[in-house]
Amino acid sequence: MTKKRANGEGSVYKTKDGRVIGSWQDTTGKTRYMTSKTMTKRQMSAAVRKKLQDRDEGIAAHSEGLTAERYMDRWLEAIRSNVRPGTFKPYEAIVRLHIKPTLGTTKLDTLNALQLEKLYRQKLDVGLSPRRVLYIHVTIRKALNDAVRLQLLARNVADAAIPPRQVKSEIEPLTQEQMRTLLEASAPDRLQALYVLAITTGMRHGELLGLQWKDVDLDGGTLRVSRSVYEGVVSPPKTNAGRRTIRLSKLAVAALKQHRIDTAMRRKAEWVFPNANGTPIGH
């Protein structure tokens, strides 16, 4: 006795013109179709079984037909308020410049690791550094992780894609002569103290702009990193390790003392390196 096929189990058939068509019902009961001129009936059956598995695992029906471009736009909009401006801006640039022009029209649920690796090779061939291409990979992987979490995808294909290997290069610090030349050239600049701190403390650009006078102990010769400024937006350090106390060199203490005198002559400001309005530079 032949077992009757259950509703929504899916079916596969071949048309007179040679096309293989698979059909199944999504979570809303709507019948979906997939057509191929190159797949065998066995391959189509496997593809239909995968669609049914995705359905049974709770993969959202509206993921079907969603292109990578549309998803990436929605993803950027969703994370905009949850990440720092300094994190969002590189994500947005990578999506706009590298992901959408290449993968934009690809259906999200058909994206595969081979396509991602092809994208990485193309970017390397046009001159992008392996480190930059790795950022593309990291961005795609992050976005697809969120798609899995939202049940738009069953798995993250970026986990199977191999990004380019990174070649570690040693950072060469400025020599004493180079530092002397830089400080001499910046002597007339009102931000010379910033250059001195950058050279002698290794602080990040945003950390320097985020300094307030209450963070600086000139008598004790230390300063406390408590915040960062990126494009005028003030944020706390990303990690607890980012909150740290730095011991200042005599050169840095002298530069800050002179800077404080120069700043006090113009205005009173809480920021060590304010703009003309007394707010952080870039605000």
| Beta pairing partners, 13 | 21
Domain with CATH 1.10.150.130 in the chain: 68-159
Within 57-158, residue ranges assigned H as helices are 68-79, 85-94, 100-103, 113-125, 130-149
User: Would you state the pLDDT for residue 7?
Assistant: 46
Angle at 25 between CA 22 and CA 28, to 5 degrees: 150
Q: What is the pLDDT of residue 5?
A: 44
* Phi, psi at 234, each rounded to 5°: -90, 130
Give me the pLDDT at residue 82, please: 86
- Give the type of residue at 144: L
Q: What is the DSSP letter of 246?
A: E
Of the candidates 102, 92, 45, the residue with the CA atom closest to the CA atom of residue 72: 92
> Taking the domain 176-266, which CATH number applies?
1.10.443.10
Residue 271 has φ and ψ, to the nearest 5°, of: -85, 140
Residues of the chain predicted below pLDDT 70: 1-8, 27-28, 56-64, 167-170, 265-268, 282-283
Name, in order, each residue with C-beta under 8 angstroms of 89's C-beta and a sequence gap of 6 or more: 231
User: For position 64, what pLDDT does the model report?
Assistant: 61
Is residue 280 within 8 A of residue 209, CB to CB? The reply is yes
- DSSP, res 223: E
For CATH 1.10.443.10, the residue range(s) in the chain are: 176-266
Q: Class assignment of domain 68-159?
A: mainly alpha
pLDDT digits (tens, 9 = 90+) for 163-172: 988 766 667 7
**Whether the predicted model's global pTM rises above the 0.75 cut:** no
Question: Which of 205, 241, 197 minimizes the C-alpha distance to 223?
Answer: 197
Q: Quote the pLDDT of residue 268.
A: 64
Q: Which residues, in sequence order, are CB contacts of 102 under 8 Å at separation 6+?
A: 119, 122
> What is the tens place of the pLDDT at every residue in 171-205?
777 788 888 888 888 888 888 999 999 999 989 99
Taking only the tens place, the pLDDT of each residue in 94-129 is 999 999 999 999 999 899 999 999 999 999 999 999
